[in-house]
Chains A and B, each alone.
Chain A
Amino acid sequence: MSPYHRYNLRRNPFGELLREERSRLAIVDARPWLDLLSDRRSVLQFIGPCGHGKTTHLLAIESLLPSCQYVYLPEFGPLPHVSNQRPMIIDESQRLSFWQWRRVLRIGGPLVLGTHRDDSAFIRRAGYNVTTIDVSENHSSDKLAAILNRRIEASRLTELEVPQISKDYATRLQSKFGANVRAIEHFLYDQFQRCALEQIEWPHAN
Chain B
Amino acid sequence: MAACQLKIELEDPARTYVGGETIKGFVLVKSETDVQCKTLELTCRWATHGRGNVAAGDVDQKNLYSGPWQTGQEYRYPFEIMTAKWPPTYYGNYINVSHYVTARAKLPWASDPTTEHEFRLAAKDSPDDLAPTVNVVNQSNWLLRSILIVIAIVVLALFVPFLLLLAPIVMVVGGFVWFFRTFLPRQVTGNVEWVVEPKVVSPGDELAGVCQFTPKWTSQTNGITWTISCIEKVTSGSGSNRKTFTHEVLTKSMPLAQPGMLDAGKTQEFKFSYSVPNTAPPSLKFTDNELTWVSELRIDLPKWPDWKKSIPFVVRAKSPKTVLQNQASEFSDGLQGVDDDPWFTEVLEQVTASKDDDERLEAVILALDDQSFPIEVDVQGEIDEPFEAEIEEEGSLWVSAIDVARNVPMALYVPPSIDRSVVLWTNGWRGNAAVIGFASEGNRVMLRLIP
Nearest-neighbour CB distance to chain B for A22, whole angstroms, equals 10
Asked if B158 and A78 sit within 8 Å, CB to CB, the answer is: yes
The docked-state distance in angstroms from the alpha carbon of A180 to that of B50 is 20
Asked if A2 and B118 sit within 8 Å, CB to CB, the answer is: yes
Q: Contacting chain A: which of B26-34, B236-244, B293-301? A: B236-244
Asked if B98 lies at the interface with its beta carbon under 8 angstroms from chain A, I say yes
Asked if B239 and A75 sit within 8 Å, CB to CB, the answer is: yes
Asked if B240 and A15 sit within 8 Å, CB to CB, the answer is: no
Nearest-neighbour CB distance to chain B for A32, whole angstroms, equals 24
Partner of B50, one of A15, A72, A77: A15
The docked-state distance in angstroms from the alpha carbon of A189 to that of B53 is 14
The docked-state distance in angstroms from the alpha carbon of A56 to that of B20 is 39
What chain B residues lie within 8 Å of A35 (beta carbons)?
Answer: none
What sequence of 0s and 1s flags, for each residue 1-25 of chain A, a beta carbon within 8 Å of any chain B beta carbon?
1110000001110011110000000
The docked-state distance in angstroms from the alpha carbon of A49 to that of B93 is 28
Nearest-neighbour CB distance to chain A for B248, whole angstroms, equals 14
What chain B residues lie within 8 Å of A3 (beta carbons)?
Answer: 91
Asked if A72 and B238 sit within 8 Å, CB to CB, the answer is: yes
What chain A residues lie within 8 Å of B120 (beta carbons)?
Answer: 1
Asked if B54 and A193 sit within 8 Å, CB to CB, the answer is: no
CB-nearest residue of chain B relative to A116? Answer: B240
Asked if A198 and B443 sit within 8 Å, CB to CB, the answer is: yes
Number of A-B contacts (CB under 8 A): 48
Asked if B159 lies at the interface with its beta carbon under 8 angstroms from chain A, I say yes
Please tell me the number of chain B residues within 8 Å of chain A, measured between CB atoms: 21
Interface residues on A, range: 20 to 34
What chain B residues lie within 8 Å of A12 (beta carbons)?
Answer: 49-50, 96
Partner of A16, one of B52, B91, B158, B159: B52
The docked-state distance in angstroms from the alpha carbon of A50 to that of B239 is 12
Asked if A62 lies at the interface with its beta carbon under 8 angstroms from chain B, I say no
Asked if A11 and B50 sit within 8 Å, CB to CB, the answer is: yes
The docked-state distance in angstroms from the alpha carbon of A2 to that of B159 is 44
**Contact A74/B49 with A2-B98, A193-B93 known, Cβ cut-off 8 Å:** no
What chain A residues lie within 8 Å of B241 (beta carbons)?
Answer: 50
What chain A residues lie within 8 Å of B239 (beta carbons)?
Answer: 72-75, 92
Nearest-neighbour CB distance to chain A for B449, whole angstroms, equals 25
What chain B residues lie within 8 Å of A2 (beta carbons)?
Answer: 91, 98, 118
What chain B residues lie within 8 Å of A18 (beta carbons)?
Answer: 54
Partner of B49, one of A15, A72, A73, A198: A15
Nearest-neighbour CB distance to chain A for B200, whole angstroms, equals 28
What chain B residues lie within 8 Å of A75 (beta carbons)?
Answer: 239-240
Asked if B51 lies at the interface with its beta carbon under 8 angstroms from chain A, I say yes
Asked if B91 and A17 sit within 8 Å, CB to CB, the answer is: no
The docked-state distance in angstroms from the alpha carbon of A197 to that of B407 is 12
What chain A residues lie within 8 Å of B159 (beta carbons)?
Answer: 77-78
Nearest-neighbour CB distance to chain A for B89, whole angstroms, equals 8
Asked if B240 and A92 sit within 8 Å, CB to CB, the answer is: yes
Nearest-neighbour CB distance to chain B for A192, whole angstroms, equals 11
The docked-state distance in angstroms from the alpha carbon of A132 to that of B237 is 25
What sequence of 0s and 1s flags, for each residue 217-245 of chain B, a beta carbon within 8 Å of any chain A beta carbon?
00000000000000000001111110000
The docked-state distance in angstroms from the alpha carbon of A193 to that of B52 is 14
Q: A2-B118, A15-B50 are in contact. List 18 more A-B contacts (CB 8 A).
A: A1-B120, A2-B91, A3-B91, A12-B49, A15-B49, A16-B49, A50-B241, A72-B239, A73-B239, A74-B238, A74-B239, A74-B240, A75-B239, A75-B240, A92-B239, A92-B240, A197-B93, A198-B443
7 residue pairs, one from A and one from B, having the closest CB atoms: A75-B240, A74-B239, A11-B49, A16-B236, A15-B50, A78-B158, A18-B54
- A residues with a Cβ closer than 8 A to B are 1-3, 10-12, 15-18, 50, 72-75, 77-78, 92, 189, 193, 197-198
30 pairs across A/B with beta carbons < 8 Å? A1-B120, A2-B91, A3-B91, A11-B49, A11-B50, A12-B96, A15-B51, A16-B50, A16-B53, A16-B54, A16-B237, A18-B54, A50-B240, A72-B238, A72-B239, A73-B239, A74-B238, A74-B239, A74-B240, A75-B239, A75-B240, A77-B158, A78-B158, A78-B159, A92-B239, A92-B240, A189-B51, A193-B93, A197-B93, A198-B443
